Amino acid sequence: MYTVLLAGGGHTHLEVIKSLSAERDPFIRWVLLSPDRYHYYSGMFSGYAEGLYSLDEIRVDLKQLCLDKKIDFMEVAVESIKPDQKKVVVSSGQILFYDRLSIDVGSHTAPDFIEGLQERQVHIKPAHLFPERMEVCQLARELVIIGGGAAACEMAFSFHAWKEKRGRKYDVITVISSGPFINEQADPVIESLFRQKGIQFYKNDRAIKVDDRYVYTENDRDIPYHEVMFLGGAQAPKWLEKSGLSTDEKGFVLVDATLQTVDHSDVFAAGDCAALATHPHLPKSGVYAVRQGKVLAHNLVASLKREKLNDYIPQKRGLILLATGNKEALALYGKVVRFGKLAWLWKDWIDVRYMRKLKKLSD
């Protein structure tokens, strides 16, 4: 009997679990390790923050899914990996041995390069405390969001919409971005929407320090806040660097095109926590994490059976659908930008359909 440990119930592992059929190899035991019984779908974070979706609509019950798929579920976090001994240590103190280990533990949003931020910010990930964290931000009189990519802009729009619907017109939202927001084509639209909605923004300025009352920037701004949130890019879980696996300069586990780690062929990694050696600049996005699922599912089994492994080849360009509040969105594909209700309907259709398919497996 072989044991495959799936560390983390992220987007990629959900695809792996989904692909396990009733006729699968009975000599492979699959075990999912997750610190929480739910997976929260980040594509719908903004809709939840705005009050458009309920908690049940944005999460998948991992325990139930595992039950349905007849695989083992352990509600534990992986704390360390000993790849040379083929074992992991989990938060319950147990030591688990594996024949294949796959890591899909995502990323976090707590960088250590902004002084004072880690201990003061509202952490959006890991996601199981997500609902209460969203409420704290919704109710904040002065909310500062550090970061200028799709996630930061989208969350600013969503919190604004939530506040607007409740007449909280004196609340202030500020976005601080160290560079441009998305690109030359999208930025004028985003900036014009920020202005229309009264969302403050500072572009090309960098948050460098946070104390109990202000966020300080490189350009000498002191921005008052009640709650601050970093959405300026995925950060690698610190324990991964100590795992004995090779990582890139940011601490993400280095994998080759087969999603095998570069130095341990029995350990795989995917999603945000992995850095593809063949595509070092691949964005950390759920879209890529999901697409890795099919290759990972095949390769985990193929490597046990000594069969040929497949390569993961990322799509060249991804569609970004960025919610801007009040059921409107921006659709960005390369240099093409479209704004309006249709883009939001498209996003909603994709997200709701994706979740419906996942939930069907666990209902």
Ligand X SMILES: Cc1cc2nc3c(=O)[nH]c(=O)nc-3n(C[C@H](O)[C@H](O)[C@H](O)COP(=O)(O)OP(=O)(O)OC[C@H]3O[C@@H](n4cnc5c(N)ncnc54)[C@H](O)[C@@H]3O)c2cc1C
Which residue ranges make up the site for ligand X (CB under 6 A)? 7-12, 33-36, 39, 42-43, 45, 77-78, 104-106, 109, 124, 126-127, 151, 155, 231, 271-273, 284-287, 289
Closest approach of ligand X to the CB of residue 305, in Å = 25
Smallest gap from residue 26 Cβ to ligand X (A): 26
Closer of 217 and 235 to ligand X (Cβ): 235
Kindly tell me which of 87 and 221 has the beta carbon lying closer to ligand X: 87
Residue 175 contacts residue 197 (beta carbons within 8 Å):
no
CB of 251 to ligand X, least distance (A): 14
CB of 197 to ligand X, least distance (A): 18
Q: Least separation, in Å, of the C-beta of 289 and ligand X?
A: 4
HSE (side-chain half, CA atoms, 13 Å) at 41? 28
Q: How far is the CB of 154 from ligand X (least distance, A)?
A: 6
**Structure tokens that stand for 353 in this block:** 């359909």
Contacts of 170 (CB under 8 A, 6+ apart): 141
| Nearer to ligand X among residue 81 and residue 210 (C-beta) | 81
What is the SS3 assignment for 295?
Answer: helix
The smaller minimum CB distance to ligand X, of residues 216 and 269, is found at 269
**Integer angstrom CA distances of residue 357 from 62, 63, 182, 345:** 14, 16, 30, 18
Contacts of 177 (CB under 8 A, 6+ apart): 147, 148, 152, 201, 202, 203, 204, 205, 232
- Which of 301, 358 has the CB closer to ligand X? 358
Which is nearer to ligand X, 101 or 105 (by Cβ)?
Answer: 105
Amino acid letter, residue 180: P
Helix (H, G, I), strand (E, B) or coil at 235: strand
Q: Which of 357, 296, 257, 276 is nearest to 30 (CA)?
A: 296
